[in-house]
Amino acid sequence: MIALALPGAGGRHGTDPVAQVGKRTITMREISCELMSDDLDAIAANQHRDRDILCLEREQLRLDSLIAEELHDVAINKLAITVSKEDLADDSVFHHYGEAEFVRLAEQYGRLGRAALLVYSGEDLHTVYAREIHVSAIQSKEQFRHFVALMQSGDGAKRFIEYQTPEHFRDQITSDARRRVARDKLMRFLSEAAGKSDLTYEAYSEKFWRDLAAQVGLEILDTRYRLMSLKGLSWQPKQLNTR
C-alpha cells in the first residue's frame, strides 16, 4: 500500500534493472528492502545477523514473488482464464472482506499518514506516537519511526493520505482477489491437463512453466540475485465450489 520511489540498499539506484520477464523489466525500486515497513536494523540485531545479508534475502523473496506474478499473469492470459462476479462474491465471503473492511483500512492508514504529517510539521515523534498510534496498536514505535522515514517529507505524507480511501482499498483488494481466483483456476487447469497426460502433476507443471519461461523470455540481470525454482510456481489446486 506504500508506493514510494526510494533508492535501494548499498547506494543502488531505484531504476537499476534486476530481472526481465518478457517485456517487463523489474527494477531495484520494486524489491528494495528499504521499502519494507519494519525496522530491518532492529530485526538484524535481534537475530544476530548481518543487515546486508538479511536485506538481500528479503529482496530475493520479493523478486521471486514479482517473477511468479508475471508468469502467472502470462499463463492466465494465454489460456484465456476469466473470473466471474460469482467467483469474486465467493472469494469475498471466504476471505471476509467488504465495504466495512475497506472503510476500516482507509481509516487505519489515513491515521498513520496524518500522524506522519504531524511529525513533519514539527511535533515530537514520541508524543505523536503515544497520542495517535499507540492507543490503536496499529504499529510499534519502531515501525512507526520507519514509516515516517518512508514518507520522506510532509508532502510525501500528504500524497500518501490522498490515496487512503475506501475506493482505493476496494480497487486494490478486488484486483488482488481477481488475480488469486484466476491463479486457482490456472492450477486446476494444470491438474486436469496433467491427468490427461502420462505425467504427474508436478512433472507436467514444471514442463509447462519451463516452456512458458522460454517462450516469453526470463532473465536475471543483477548477479546478486538468482533465478527462482519454477517448481514453486504451482501448488495443489483448491476444490471447485459447486453452486
The reported pLDDT for the residue numbered 239 is 60
The reported pLDDT for the residue numbered 3 is 39
Vertex 237: Cα angle to 235 and 240 (nearest 5): 170
pTM, 2 dp: 0.78
Q: Which residues pair with 20 in a beta bridge?
A: 25, 219
Q: 11 pLDDT band (50/70/90 cuts)?
A: very low
Could you give the CA distance from residue 225 to residue 61 in angstroms, rounded to a whole number? 10
Is residue 240 scored above 80 in pLDDT? no
Vertex 28: Cα angle to 25 and 31 (nearest 5): 100
Cβ(70)–Cβ(24) under 8 Å? yes
The reported pLDDT for the residue numbered 92 is 87
Q: 12 pLDDT band (50/70/90 cuts)?
A: low
Region of 2 (left: φ > 0; alpha: ψ -120 to 50; beta: rest) is beta
CB atoms within 10 A of CB 7: 16
Q: List, for residues 150-160, the tens digit of each pLDDT value.
A: 899 999 999 99
Q: Where are the domains of the chain?
A: 9-78+201-233, 93-196
The reported pLDDT for the residue numbered 180 is 93
Burial of 210: CB neighbours in 10 Å, binned 0-12, 13-18, 19+: middle
Could you give the CA distance from residue 141 to residue 128 in angstroms, rounded to a whole number? 10
Q: Are strands 218-220 and 17-21 parallel, antiparallel or unpaired?
A: antiparallel
Is residue 176 scored above 70 in pLDDT? yes
CB under 8 Å to 35, separation ≥6 — which residues? 2, 4, 6, 29, 150
Is residue 120 scored above 90 in pLDDT? yes
Cβ(106)–Cβ(166) under 8 Å? yes
Q: List, for residues 33-91, the tens digit of each pLDDT value.
A: 877 656 777 788 888 899 889 999 999 999 999 999 999 999 999 999 999 999 999 98
Q: Are strands 24-27 and 218-220 parallel, antiparallel or unpaired?
A: unpaired
The reported pLDDT for the residue numbered 94 is 85
Cβ(21)–Cβ(216) under 8 Å? yes
DSSP H helical ranges for 121-232: 125-128, 141-151, 154-163, 166-195, 201-216
Least confident stretch, 139-148, 205-214, 232-241: 232-241
Is residue 163 scored above 70 in pLDDT? yes
**Could you tell me the CA-to-CA distances from 127 to 111, 206, 232 in Å, in that order?**
15, 54, 46
The 3-state DSSP class for residue 81 equals coil
Is residue 231 scored above 80 in pLDDT? yes
The reported pLDDT for the residue numbered 38 is 62
Q: List, for residues 211-220, the tens digit of each pLDDT value.
A: 999 999 999 9
